[in-house]
Structure 1
Amino acid sequence: MDAHSIKVACSSCNLRELCLPMGLSHDEMNKLDHVISTRKRIKRGTALFNTGDRFTSLYAVRSGFFKTCITTADGRDQVTGFQMTGEIIGLDGIVSDQHSCDAIALEDAEVCVMPFDQLETLSREFNTLQHHVHKIMSREIVRDHGVMLLLGSMRAEERLAAFLLNLVQRLHARGFSQSELILRMTREEIGSYLGMKLETVSRTFSKFVEDGVIEVKQRYVKILDTEALKRIVNPQVCN
């Protein structure tokens, strides 16, 4: 079946509270259903879009996990983010009408296609949607600031602790465990995102295990002591 022939309705999607505004009227939801009417399946390891592709749509992750990355001047892949169910990909394309990064599926995934010109038109029609689009953009800016803080001022242990806490918090908001997760990304990809060498990532994971903070079995991670992770990130906070 062609990816663009898969029909989807926001009104009947159990993820809509994650990626769409609350409080839309029945009429507004019907209009949104008409705009966001197709899904696209992306196989693990393949690109949803690449750097330089023409920007036409935003994408809501319906299932699966993505990484966004850019190629640096010296040819290295730099991971700029990880996106999961209920999050929006493609905002990078708005500024110049073409994508400035690659979005690669880390596992078989499915996205809802949101044509941006139609979304803009609809946003002008009802303010709730416009406000929500602005909130999504603002969230990206805040996240970028968080990454800059990670890379600019934190030690290796602080970076990895903050990363794990952020990941499990985002997964918990989607109904998953507060303490257990499967890492969809490799240690190398984590290192690229956090500005750490692969050996440093592995060594830091090992230290957390030795200290009884986490348990690790390949990509499975169980957080045994959330407060200890928080203290690593904010050592000045005393309970």
Structure 2
Amino acid sequence: MTPDPDLDDLRRSCGYSAIHGFHLPAGLSADDLQTLNATARDLLPLDRGQTLFSQGRKFGALYVVRSGSLKTFVEGSEGDMQILGFHLPGDIMGIGGLINEHYPCTAQALERSSVCELRYAQLQEVCAGLPALNHQLIRVISGALVTEQRHLVMMGKQQAQRRLASFIRRMSDRYGRLSRDPLALNLPMSRDDIANYLGLALETVSRLFSKMESDGILSVNRKSVHILRRDLLDKLCGGDIDM
């Protein structure tokens, strides 16, 4: 008789860790988890600046960040770059490739990072037999698209101060969901990356960080940002929906 799969081993596996970001539906058996695990594989760690997938490459998999962080960006015909997002552990990447079967952007590590690959063809087969998981996958994909739309709205309507404040609050909330201190941020991206993402000049971002520090809202030391007055930070964000 074949022994039952070890649930503790499965929970430590790449596949389980990746799918856990989908908020696994209740009632999945050990065999279900083992089937999910078969769709995934750990990739070799990415060093800072290393590319996970490139703009225009044929789509074949989704990726889940296990540790570290990455950024996604698009490059124009004249070599200009626009950063689309920053991705922390648990985030799912590559969703844009579902639209035309090619990745519309490039993903690059901001620091040494580990990533789990979910081969999409196999994931579809698994989801076909597990409707609850398929429903969760659709929800995750829809949520990622909504986040991108909110960022576009922010870029078009918010003033510079509010853009940066909303970005910091969003990072704080994401840290909280990762069980990290939401008031002590160690931002992996550069000031230049933040400025690009927010559609602002680097000088503007530096000036606004300094202003929030002088106002007693933040304490800033290079990439280390401590939120001293969350209430004042929230006030700067107004009633805006988080990015």
Distance across 2 between alignment mates of 1:19 and 1:109 = 20
SS at match of 1:40: coil
- Correspondent of 1:60 among 64, 71, 91: 64
Aligned-residue offset at 1:82: 0.5
Moved over 4 A (4+): 13-16
With 208-217 and 73-82 compared, the bigger mean Cα shift is at 73-82
Structure 2 partner of 1:176: 180
Q: Which ranges of structure 2 fall in alignment gaps of 5 or more residues?
A: 1-8
TM-score, with length taken from structure 2: 0.89
Structure 2 partner of 1:33: 37
| Contact 1:157–1:232 under 8 Å retained in 2 | yes
Identity of aligned residues (%): 31
Q: Which amino acid aligns with 1:83?
A: H
| Contact 1:19–1:60 under 8 Å retained in 2 | no
SS at match of 1:95: helix
TM-score, with length taken from structure 1: 0.90
Distance across 2 between alignment mates of 1:108 and 1:98 = 25
SS at match of 2:179: coil
Alignment of 1:10-25 (within 5 A): 11-13=11-13, 15=17, 17-23=20-26, 24-25=28-29
How many aligned residue pairs are there?
Answer: 228
Taking a change above 3 Å as real, the CA distance of residues 10 and 152 of structure 1, as seen in their structure-2 partners, is: farther
Structure 2 partner of 1:5: none
- Work out whether 1:202 is the aligned partner of 2:206: yes
Aligned-residue offset at 1:25: 2.3
Structure 2 partner of 1:158: 162
Distance across 2 between alignment mates of 1:76 and 1:169 = 30
SS at match of 1:113: strand
Aligned-residue offset at 1:18: 3.1
Aligned-residue offset at 1:147: 0.4
With 95-104 and 30-39 compared, the bigger mean Cα shift is at 30-39
Aligned-residue offset at 1:230: 0.8
Q: Which amino acid aligns with 2:170?
A: N
CA RMSD between the two structures? 1.7
Cα deviation, 1:122-159, whole Å, max 9, x if unaligned, reads: 11110121112111111112211220121011011100
Cα deviation, 1:75-125, whole Å, max 9, x if unaligned, reads: 211100000101111111111111110000000111111000001111111
- Work out whether 1:123 is the aligned partner of 2:123: no
Q: Which ranges of structure 1 fall in alignment gaps of 5 or more residues?
A: 1-8
SS at match of 2:34: helix
Distance across 1 between alignment mates of 2:154 and 2:239 = 15
Taking a change above 3 Å as real, the CA distance of residues 10 and 75 of structure 1, as seen in their structure-2 partners, is: farther
Distance across 2 between alignment mates of 1:235 and 1:91 = 29
Alignment of 1:72-83 (within 5 A): 72-83=76-87
Distance across 2 between alignment mates of 1:101 and 1:70 = 5
